[in-house]
Structure 1
Amino acid sequence: MLASKSIKMSKEQVSTFPNADELLDRMRKMSEDESLWKKSKTDSGVDIFEGKVSTKYRQFRGVGYVDQPLATMVSVVKDAEKRKQWNEQMMGNEVVEDISEHVKVIHSKFNGGAASNRDFCVFYTDHLSDTEYIDAQTSIIHEKCPVMKGFVRATCLISGTRMIAESPTRTKVFYLGQVDLGGMVPSFVANIVNMKQPLCIARMRDFAMKDAASSSSVPSSASTSPQEEKQNEEK
Protein backbone atom coordinates (compact mmCIF):
# COMPACT_ATOMS: atom_id res chain seq x y z
CA MET A 1 0.00 0.00 0.00
CA LEU A 2 1.73 3.12 -1.24
CA ALA A 3 0.94 6.76 -0.57
CA SER A 4 1.06 8.31 -4.03
CA LYS A 5 -0.98 10.89 -5.89
CA SER A 6 -1.58 8.30 -8.62
CA ILE A 7 -3.13 5.83 -6.13
CA LYS A 8 -6.60 6.42 -4.74
CA MET A 9 -7.44 4.54 -1.54
CA SER A 10 -10.71 3.88 0.18
CA LYS A 11 -11.18 4.45 3.91
CA GLU A 12 -10.93 0.68 4.38
CA GLN A 13 -7.53 0.58 2.63
CA VAL A 14 -6.21 3.54 4.59
CA SER A 15 -6.93 1.81 7.89
CA THR A 16 -5.31 -1.46 6.79
CA PHE A 17 -1.63 -1.91 7.59
CA PRO A 18 0.85 -4.07 5.66
CA ASN A 19 1.81 -7.42 7.19
CA ALA A 20 4.95 -6.76 9.25
CA ASP A 21 6.39 -10.28 8.88
CA GLU A 22 5.85 -10.25 5.11
CA LEU A 23 7.55 -6.86 4.82
CA LEU A 24 10.59 -8.11 6.76
CA ASP A 25 10.70 -11.31 4.69
CA ARG A 26 10.64 -9.23 1.50
CA MET A 27 13.45 -7.05 2.83
CA ARG A 28 15.50 -10.13 3.80
CA LYS A 29 15.02 -11.75 0.39
CA MET A 30 15.90 -8.56 -1.47
CA SER A 31 19.08 -8.15 0.57
CA GLU A 32 20.43 -11.66 -0.05
CA ASP A 33 19.13 -12.72 -3.48
CA GLU A 34 21.98 -11.87 -5.87
CA SER A 35 19.86 -12.74 -8.92
CA LEU A 36 17.85 -9.55 -8.35
CA TRP A 37 20.82 -7.20 -8.72
CA LYS A 38 23.54 -5.99 -11.05
CA LYS A 39 26.57 -4.20 -9.62
CA SER A 40 26.86 -0.52 -10.52
CA LYS A 41 30.01 0.54 -8.67
CA THR A 42 31.99 0.59 -5.43
CA ASP A 43 32.10 3.93 -3.64
CA SER A 44 33.63 4.69 -0.23
CA GLY A 45 33.98 1.00 0.52
CA VAL A 46 30.31 0.27 -0.26
CA ASP A 47 29.28 -2.00 -3.15
CA ILE A 48 26.23 -0.46 -4.85
CA PHE A 49 23.83 -2.59 -6.89
CA GLU A 50 20.88 -1.64 -9.10
CA GLY A 51 17.77 -3.78 -9.41
CA LYS A 52 17.63 -5.77 -12.65
CA VAL A 53 13.90 -5.15 -13.05
CA SER A 54 13.35 -1.86 -14.83
CA THR A 55 10.95 0.42 -12.93
CA LYS A 56 10.24 4.14 -13.01
CA TYR A 57 11.83 4.54 -9.59
CA ARG A 58 14.84 2.24 -9.45
CA GLN A 59 15.74 -0.05 -6.57
CA PHE A 60 19.26 0.18 -5.17
CA ARG A 61 21.13 -1.99 -2.68
CA GLY A 62 24.31 -1.24 -0.76
CA VAL A 63 26.59 -3.80 0.91
CA GLY A 64 29.44 -2.96 3.25
CA TYR A 65 31.30 -4.10 6.35
CA VAL A 66 32.00 -2.41 9.67
CA ASP A 67 34.59 -3.57 12.19
CA GLN A 68 32.21 -3.15 15.10
CA PRO A 69 29.90 -5.59 16.95
CA LEU A 70 26.30 -6.00 15.84
CA ALA A 71 25.02 -4.43 19.07
CA THR A 72 27.05 -1.28 18.38
CA MET A 73 25.67 -0.97 14.86
CA VAL A 74 22.10 -1.47 16.09
CA SER A 75 22.53 1.47 18.45
CA VAL A 76 23.91 3.57 15.57
CA VAL A 77 20.71 2.92 13.60
CA LYS A 78 18.10 3.02 16.37
CA ASP A 79 19.42 5.80 18.63
CA ALA A 80 17.75 8.99 17.36
CA GLU A 81 20.55 11.32 18.46
CA LYS A 82 23.26 9.13 16.92
CA ARG A 83 21.26 8.83 13.70
CA LYS A 84 21.09 12.60 13.32
CA GLN A 85 24.89 12.74 13.50
CA TRP A 86 25.46 10.43 10.53
CA ASN A 87 22.32 11.46 8.63
CA GLU A 88 22.52 15.24 8.57
CA GLN A 89 19.39 15.60 6.41
CA MET A 90 17.17 14.06 9.08
CA MET A 91 15.05 16.65 10.87
CA GLY A 92 13.25 14.19 13.10
CA ASN A 93 10.97 11.17 13.49
CA GLU A 94 7.63 11.17 15.26
CA VAL A 95 5.77 8.00 16.20
CA VAL A 96 2.23 8.58 14.95
CA GLU A 97 0.88 5.23 16.11
CA ASP A 98 2.66 2.80 18.41
CA ILE A 99 1.21 -0.52 17.28
CA SER A 100 3.65 -2.72 19.22
CA GLU A 101 7.25 -2.72 20.41
CA HIS A 102 8.48 -3.53 16.93
CA VAL A 103 5.73 -2.11 14.70
CA LYS A 104 4.95 1.61 14.36
CA VAL A 105 3.63 4.30 12.07
CA ILE A 106 6.28 7.00 11.81
CA HIS A 107 6.31 10.52 10.37
CA SER A 108 9.85 11.29 9.12
CA LYS A 109 11.03 14.74 8.06
CA PHE A 110 14.13 15.57 6.02
CA ASN A 111 15.92 18.76 5.06
CA GLY A 112 15.74 19.17 1.30
CA GLY A 113 18.72 21.53 1.09
CA ALA A 114 18.30 23.64 -2.04
CA ALA A 115 15.04 21.80 -2.79
CA SER A 116 11.87 21.67 -0.71
CA ASN A 117 11.90 19.70 2.53
CA ARG A 118 10.49 16.18 2.25
CA ASP A 119 8.46 14.07 4.63
CA PHE A 120 7.23 10.48 4.71
CA CYS A 121 4.44 8.68 6.52
CA VAL A 122 5.62 5.08 6.82
CA PHE A 123 4.68 1.75 8.31
CA TYR A 124 7.85 0.61 10.10
CA THR A 125 8.84 -2.73 11.59
CA ASP A 126 12.06 -4.28 12.90
CA HIS A 127 13.41 -7.50 14.39
CA LEU A 128 16.56 -8.27 16.39
CA SER A 129 18.20 -11.62 17.18
CA ASP A 130 21.66 -12.54 18.46
CA THR A 131 23.08 -12.60 14.92
CA GLU A 132 20.81 -10.32 12.86
CA TYR A 133 19.03 -6.97 12.92
CA ILE A 134 16.57 -6.02 10.19
CA ASP A 135 14.14 -3.16 9.66
CA ALA A 136 11.85 -2.22 6.81
CA GLN A 137 9.40 0.53 5.99
CA THR A 138 6.91 1.47 3.31
CA SER A 139 4.67 4.50 2.85
CA ILE A 140 1.05 4.42 3.94
CA ILE A 141 -1.78 6.93 4.33
CA HIS A 142 -2.72 7.64 7.94
CA GLU A 143 -5.30 10.06 9.30
CA LYS A 144 -2.91 11.28 12.00
CA CYS A 145 -0.15 11.98 9.48
CA PRO A 146 -1.57 14.56 7.04
CA VAL A 147 0.46 16.46 4.46
CA MET A 148 2.24 19.35 6.20
CA LYS A 149 2.78 22.92 5.05
CA GLY A 150 6.41 23.47 4.11
CA PHE A 151 6.99 19.82 3.14
CA VAL A 152 6.51 17.80 -0.02
CA ARG A 153 5.11 14.35 0.77
CA ALA A 154 7.46 11.75 -0.68
CA THR A 155 6.73 8.05 -1.09
CA CYS A 156 8.90 5.22 0.19
CA LEU A 157 8.11 2.16 -1.91
CA ILE A 158 10.45 0.17 0.31
CA SER A 159 13.61 0.88 2.30
CA GLY A 160 15.45 -0.63 5.20
CA THR A 161 18.58 -1.97 6.78
CA ARG A 162 19.78 -5.49 7.45
CA MET A 163 22.85 -6.20 9.58
CA ILE A 164 24.44 -9.60 10.15
CA ALA A 165 27.12 -10.46 12.73
CA GLU A 166 30.03 -11.84 10.69
CA SER A 167 32.03 -12.24 13.92
CA PRO A 168 31.90 -10.77 17.44
CA THR A 169 33.65 -7.65 16.13
CA ARG A 170 32.55 -7.40 12.49
CA THR A 171 29.12 -6.65 10.98
CA LYS A 172 27.88 -6.97 7.41
CA VAL A 173 25.46 -4.17 6.53
CA PHE A 174 22.85 -4.08 3.76
CA TYR A 175 20.80 -1.02 2.84
CA LEU A 176 17.93 -1.03 0.33
CA GLY A 177 15.97 1.91 -0.97
CA GLN A 178 13.36 2.84 -3.55
CA VAL A 179 11.81 6.30 -3.19
CA ASP A 180 9.60 8.68 -5.15
CA LEU A 181 10.55 12.21 -4.01
CA GLY A 182 7.19 13.62 -5.08
CA GLY A 183 6.55 17.20 -6.18
CA MET A 184 7.94 18.22 -9.56
CA VAL A 185 11.08 16.08 -9.30
CA PRO A 186 11.46 13.96 -12.47
CA SER A 187 12.10 10.25 -12.04
CA PHE A 188 15.68 10.41 -13.35
CA VAL A 189 16.58 12.92 -10.62
CA ALA A 190 14.88 10.75 -7.99
CA ASN A 191 16.92 7.80 -9.23
CA ILE A 192 20.16 9.75 -8.84
CA VAL A 193 19.16 10.36 -5.22
CA ASN A 194 18.14 6.71 -4.81
CA MET A 195 21.54 5.55 -6.05
CA LYS A 196 23.30 7.66 -3.41
CA GLN A 197 21.21 6.37 -0.50
CA PRO A 198 23.26 3.16 0.05
CA LEU A 199 26.25 5.36 0.89
CA CYS A 200 24.60 5.79 4.29
CA ILE A 201 26.48 2.56 5.10
CA ALA A 202 29.77 4.47 4.81
CA ARG A 203 28.40 7.22 7.07
CA MET A 204 27.23 4.62 9.62
CA ARG A 205 30.67 2.98 9.50
CA ASP A 206 32.59 6.21 9.90
CA PHE A 207 30.40 7.36 12.78
CA ALA A 208 30.61 3.98 14.55
CA MET A 209 34.40 3.83 14.26
CA LYS A 210 34.83 7.43 15.44
CA ASP A 211 32.39 6.94 18.32
CA ALA A 212 34.16 3.75 19.41
CA ALA A 213 37.55 5.48 19.28
CA SER A 214 36.36 8.45 21.34
CA SER A 215 34.72 6.15 23.89
CA SER A 216 37.90 4.11 24.35
CA SER A 217 39.92 7.30 24.90
CA VAL A 218 37.73 8.50 27.80
CA PRO A 219 39.65 8.03 31.10
CA SER A 220 38.19 5.50 33.48
CA SER A 221 36.64 6.79 36.70
CA ALA A 222 39.05 4.49 38.50
CA SER A 223 42.14 6.09 36.95
CA THR A 224 44.81 7.64 39.15
CA SER A 225 44.30 11.32 39.99
CA PRO A 226 47.12 13.87 39.55
CA GLN A 227 47.43 14.13 43.36
CA GLU A 228 47.83 10.38 43.68
CA GLU A 229 50.42 10.34 40.90
CA LYS A 230 52.45 13.04 42.72
CA GLN A 231 52.28 11.07 46.00
CA ASN A 232 53.44 7.93 44.22
CA GLU A 233 56.41 9.83 42.73
CA GLU A 234 57.41 11.12 46.15
CA LYS A 235 57.38 7.59 47.52
Structure 2
Amino acid sequence: MEYEDKARFASERLLGYTKDPSGWKVCKKSNDVVVSWRPSQEYPGNVYKGEALVNGGLLKVWECLKPIPNGLRVKWDSNVKKFELLQQITEDVSVCRTVTPSAAMGIISPRDFVDVIVVKKYEDGTVSSNATNVLHSSCPPQPGFIRGFNHPCGCVCVPAEPNKTQVFTVFQTDLGGLLPRSVVESFFPSSMVEFYSHLTKAVKSLKDF
Protein backbone atom coordinates (compact mmCIF):
# COMPACT_ATOMS: atom_id res chain seq x y z
CA MET A 1 0.00 0.00 0.00
CA GLU A 2 2.95 2.31 0.61
CA TYR A 3 3.79 2.33 -3.10
CA GLU A 4 0.20 3.16 -4.06
CA ASP A 5 0.06 5.96 -1.48
CA LYS A 6 3.29 7.46 -2.80
CA ALA A 7 2.03 7.18 -6.37
CA ARG A 8 -1.21 8.95 -5.44
CA PHE A 9 0.76 11.71 -3.71
CA ALA A 10 2.94 12.17 -6.82
CA SER A 11 -0.08 12.44 -9.12
CA GLU A 12 -1.77 15.02 -6.87
CA ARG A 13 1.42 17.07 -6.72
CA LEU A 14 1.94 16.91 -10.49
CA LEU A 15 -1.60 18.05 -11.23
CA GLY A 16 -1.09 20.92 -8.80
CA TYR A 17 2.10 22.03 -10.54
CA THR A 18 0.38 22.19 -13.92
CA LYS A 19 -2.64 24.13 -12.64
CA ASP A 20 -1.07 26.52 -10.11
CA PRO A 21 0.29 29.60 -11.93
CA SER A 22 1.87 31.26 -8.89
CA GLY A 23 5.58 31.66 -8.33
CA TRP A 24 6.86 30.37 -11.67
CA LYS A 25 9.68 32.25 -13.41
CA VAL A 26 10.42 31.65 -17.08
CA CYS A 27 14.03 30.51 -17.52
CA LYS A 28 14.05 29.36 -21.15
CA LYS A 29 11.89 29.79 -24.25
CA SER A 30 12.44 28.19 -27.63
CA ASN A 31 9.89 28.18 -30.44
CA ASP A 32 6.69 27.00 -28.74
CA VAL A 33 8.39 25.60 -25.61
CA VAL A 34 8.32 27.49 -22.31
CA VAL A 35 10.35 26.26 -19.33
CA SER A 36 9.75 27.79 -15.90
CA TRP A 37 11.07 27.14 -12.42
CA ARG A 38 10.35 27.84 -8.78
CA PRO A 39 11.86 26.57 -5.51
CA SER A 40 10.84 23.01 -4.71
CA GLN A 41 8.87 22.19 -1.58
CA GLU A 42 10.18 18.62 -1.68
CA TYR A 43 13.97 19.10 -1.50
CA PRO A 44 16.60 21.90 -1.47
CA GLY A 45 16.48 22.53 -5.22
CA ASN A 46 14.16 23.73 -7.96
CA VAL A 47 11.13 22.28 -9.67
CA TYR A 48 11.09 22.83 -13.44
CA LYS A 49 7.95 22.90 -15.58
CA GLY A 50 7.90 22.66 -19.36
CA GLU A 51 4.90 23.39 -21.56
CA ALA A 52 4.35 23.12 -25.30
CA LEU A 53 1.67 22.40 -27.87
CA VAL A 54 2.81 19.30 -29.75
CA ASN A 55 1.61 18.49 -33.25
CA GLY A 56 -0.16 15.15 -33.01
CA GLY A 57 -3.26 13.67 -31.38
CA LEU A 58 -3.12 12.57 -27.77
CA LEU A 59 -2.95 8.85 -28.60
CA LYS A 60 0.17 9.32 -30.72
CA VAL A 61 1.85 11.60 -28.19
CA TRP A 62 1.05 9.24 -25.32
CA GLU A 63 2.40 6.30 -27.31
CA CYS A 64 5.78 8.06 -27.28
CA LEU A 65 5.64 8.89 -23.57
CA LYS A 66 4.00 5.98 -21.76
CA PRO A 67 6.28 4.41 -19.15
CA ILE A 68 6.60 0.78 -20.23
CA PRO A 69 9.59 -1.53 -20.79
CA ASN A 70 10.57 -1.69 -24.46
CA GLY A 71 8.46 1.41 -25.09
CA LEU A 72 9.26 4.14 -27.58
CA ARG A 73 10.74 6.61 -25.11
CA VAL A 74 14.07 4.81 -24.79
CA LYS A 75 14.41 5.11 -28.58
CA TRP A 76 13.91 8.87 -28.90
CA ASP A 77 14.69 10.41 -25.49
CA SER A 78 18.45 10.94 -25.28
CA ASN A 79 18.22 11.21 -21.48
CA VAL A 80 16.74 7.72 -21.04
CA LYS A 81 19.24 4.95 -21.72
CA LYS A 82 17.34 2.08 -20.10
CA PHE A 83 13.92 1.58 -18.50
CA GLU A 84 13.28 -1.55 -16.43
CA LEU A 85 10.18 -2.86 -14.68
CA LEU A 86 11.03 -4.00 -11.14
CA GLN A 87 7.52 -4.76 -9.87
CA GLN A 88 3.95 -4.40 -11.17
CA ILE A 89 1.87 -3.31 -8.18
CA THR A 90 -1.52 -2.85 -9.88
CA GLU A 91 -2.60 -2.38 -13.48
CA ASP A 92 -1.65 1.31 -13.36
CA VAL A 93 1.05 1.36 -10.65
CA SER A 94 4.57 -0.02 -11.08
CA VAL A 95 8.06 0.32 -9.65
CA CYS A 96 10.70 0.95 -12.31
CA ARG A 97 14.39 1.73 -12.70
CA THR A 98 15.51 4.38 -15.17
CA VAL A 99 19.12 4.69 -16.29
CA THR A 100 20.41 7.97 -17.73
CA PRO A 101 23.66 8.44 -19.68
CA SER A 102 26.41 10.92 -18.87
CA ALA A 103 25.48 14.49 -19.77
CA ALA A 104 26.77 18.05 -19.94
CA MET A 105 29.91 16.98 -21.79
CA GLY A 106 30.62 14.29 -19.21
CA ILE A 107 30.33 16.58 -16.17
CA ILE A 108 27.19 14.66 -15.12
CA SER A 109 27.99 10.95 -14.71
CA PRO A 110 25.51 8.15 -15.52
CA ARG A 111 22.65 8.00 -13.01
CA ASP A 112 19.95 5.55 -12.09
CA PHE A 113 16.59 6.22 -10.46
CA VAL A 114 14.08 3.91 -8.79
CA ASP A 115 10.52 5.28 -8.84
CA VAL A 116 6.95 4.27 -8.29
CA ILE A 117 4.99 5.32 -11.39
CA VAL A 118 1.24 5.66 -11.79
CA VAL A 119 -0.69 6.33 -15.00
CA LYS A 120 -3.78 8.46 -14.48
CA LYS A 121 -6.64 9.08 -16.91
CA TYR A 122 -9.11 11.91 -16.41
CA GLU A 123 -12.66 12.53 -17.65
CA ASP A 124 -11.60 15.27 -20.08
CA GLY A 125 -9.24 12.86 -21.85
CA THR A 126 -6.09 14.01 -20.06
CA VAL A 127 -3.52 11.28 -19.43
CA SER A 128 -0.53 11.56 -17.12
CA SER A 129 2.52 9.61 -16.03
CA ASN A 130 3.44 10.44 -12.43
CA ALA A 131 6.53 9.32 -10.52
CA THR A 132 8.45 9.74 -7.28
CA ASN A 133 11.42 8.00 -5.71
CA VAL A 134 11.08 4.83 -3.64
CA LEU A 135 13.32 2.09 -2.24
CA HIS A 136 13.05 -1.41 -3.67
CA SER A 137 14.80 -4.49 -2.30
CA SER A 138 15.64 -5.82 -5.76
CA CYS A 139 17.52 -2.69 -6.78
CA PRO A 140 20.09 -1.30 -4.34
CA PRO A 141 22.60 1.28 -5.63
CA GLN A 142 24.49 -0.16 -8.59
CA PRO A 143 28.25 0.03 -9.30
CA GLY A 144 29.00 2.54 -12.06
CA PHE A 145 25.92 4.68 -11.39
CA ILE A 146 25.19 7.51 -9.00
CA ARG A 147 21.74 7.00 -7.47
CA GLY A 148 19.56 10.02 -8.09
CA PHE A 149 16.16 10.79 -6.59
CA ASN A 150 13.12 12.03 -8.46
CA HIS A 151 10.64 13.99 -6.39
CA PRO A 152 7.05 14.19 -7.72
CA CYS A 153 7.48 14.57 -11.46
CA GLY A 154 6.13 13.36 -14.79
CA CYS A 155 4.26 14.24 -17.97
CA VAL A 156 0.69 15.43 -18.48
CA CYS A 157 -0.95 15.17 -21.91
CA VAL A 158 -4.06 17.32 -22.44
CA PRO A 159 -6.19 17.07 -25.60
CA ALA A 160 -6.07 20.40 -27.43
CA GLU A 161 -7.21 21.55 -30.85
CA PRO A 162 -7.62 18.83 -33.52
CA ASN A 163 -4.45 16.75 -33.83
CA LYS A 164 -2.58 18.73 -31.19
CA THR A 165 -1.73 17.92 -27.58
CA GLN A 166 -0.73 20.22 -24.74
CA VAL A 167 2.19 18.52 -23.01
CA PHE A 168 3.36 19.55 -19.56
CA THR A 169 6.54 18.11 -18.09
CA VAL A 170 7.65 18.51 -14.49
CA PHE A 171 11.12 17.65 -13.21
CA GLN A 172 12.46 18.05 -9.70
CA THR A 173 15.42 15.77 -9.52
CA ASP A 174 18.15 15.44 -6.93
CA LEU A 175 20.96 14.21 -9.17
CA GLY A 176 23.11 13.20 -6.22
CA GLY A 177 26.89 13.48 -6.25
CA LEU A 178 28.74 16.75 -5.79
CA LEU A 179 27.54 18.69 -8.81
CA PRO A 180 27.87 22.49 -8.78
CA ARG A 181 24.45 24.11 -8.52
CA SER A 182 25.18 26.14 -11.68
CA VAL A 183 25.60 22.92 -13.70
CA VAL A 184 22.23 21.58 -12.54
CA GLU A 185 20.44 24.88 -13.14
CA SER A 186 21.73 25.14 -16.70
CA PHE A 187 21.23 21.46 -17.52
CA PHE A 188 17.53 21.05 -16.84
CA PRO A 189 16.06 23.96 -18.87
CA SER A 190 18.19 23.11 -21.94
CA SER A 191 17.49 19.40 -21.56
CA MET A 192 13.74 20.04 -21.38
CA VAL A 193 13.71 22.12 -24.57
CA GLU A 194 15.62 19.30 -26.28
CA PHE A 195 13.08 16.80 -24.88
CA TYR A 196 10.23 18.58 -26.70
CA SER A 197 12.19 18.77 -29.93
CA HIS A 198 12.85 15.03 -29.88
CA LEU A 199 9.27 14.25 -28.81
CA THR A 200 7.87 16.26 -31.73
CA LYS A 201 10.07 14.34 -34.19
CA ALA A 202 9.11 11.00 -32.62
CA VAL A 203 5.38 11.79 -32.87
CA LYS A 204 5.77 12.92 -36.46
CA SER A 205 7.51 9.66 -37.38
CA LEU A 206 4.62 7.50 -36.11
CA LYS A 207 2.05 6.25 -38.59
CA ASP A 208 -1.50 7.47 -38.03
CA PHE A 209 -3.61 5.35 -35.73
Determine if the TM-score, normalized by the shorter chain, exceeds 0.5.
yes
Moved more, 61-70 or 112-121: 112-121
1:16 equivalenced with 2:22 (yes/no): no
Q: Quote the offset at 1:53 in angstroms.
A: 5.9
1:35-88 deviation per Cα after TM superposition (whole angstroms, max 9, x unaligned):
141222312421111115687321110100112110111101126442123212
2:44 match: secondary structure = coil
1:140-193 deviation per Cα after TM superposition (whole angstroms, max 9, x unaligned):
112111111111101112220001001341110000001111122133322222
Q: 1:141 to 1:81 in 2, by over 3 A?
A: closer
Paired with 2:150 and 2:59, the residues of 1 have a C-alpha distance of 27
Q: Is the 8 A contact 1:56 1:187 kept in 2?
A: no
Which structure has the highest helix share of the two? 1
Q: Is the 8 A contact 2:25 2:38 kept in 1?
A: yes
1:122 equivalenced with 2:99 (yes/no): no
1:35 match: secondary structure = coil
Scaled by the length of structure 1, the TM-score of the pair is 0.77
Paired with 2:31 and 2:165, the residues of 1 have a C-alpha distance of 17
Residue 2 of structure 2 aligns with an amino acid whose one-letter code is: T
Residue 18 of structure 2 corresponds to 31
Q: Percent identity?
A: 22
Residue correspondence of structure 1 range 102-181 to structure 2 within 5 A: 102-113=92-103, 114=106, 115-129=108-122, 131-181=125-175
Rg larger in structure: 1
The count of aligned residue pairs is 199
Paired with 2:143 and 2:40, the residues of 1 have a C-alpha distance of 35
Residue 201 of structure 1 corresponds to 196
Scaled by the length of structure 2, the TM-score of the pair is 0.85
Residue 40 of structure 1 aligns with an amino acid whose one-letter code is: C
Give every structure 1 segment of 4 or more consecutive aligned residues whose post-TM-superposition deviation is greater than 4 Å.
52-55
1:45 equivalenced with 2:32 (yes/no): yes
Gaps of 5+ in 2: none
Q: Is the 8 A contact 2:13 2:152 kept in 1?
A: no
Residue 64 of structure 2 corresponds to 76
Q: 1:53 to 1:20 in 2, by over 3 A?
A: closer
Q: 1:52 to 1:94 in 2, by over 3 A?
A: closer
Q: Is the 8 A contact 2:85 2:96 kept in 1?
A: yes
Residue 45 of structure 1 aligns with an amino acid whose one-letter code is: D
1:94 equivalenced with 2:89 (yes/no): no
Q: 1:43 to 1:138 in 2, by over 3 A?
A: same
2:65 match: secondary structure = helix
1:31 match: secondary structure = helix
Paired with 1:104 and 1:96, the residues of 2 have a C-alpha distance of 8
- RMSD value, Cα: 2.2
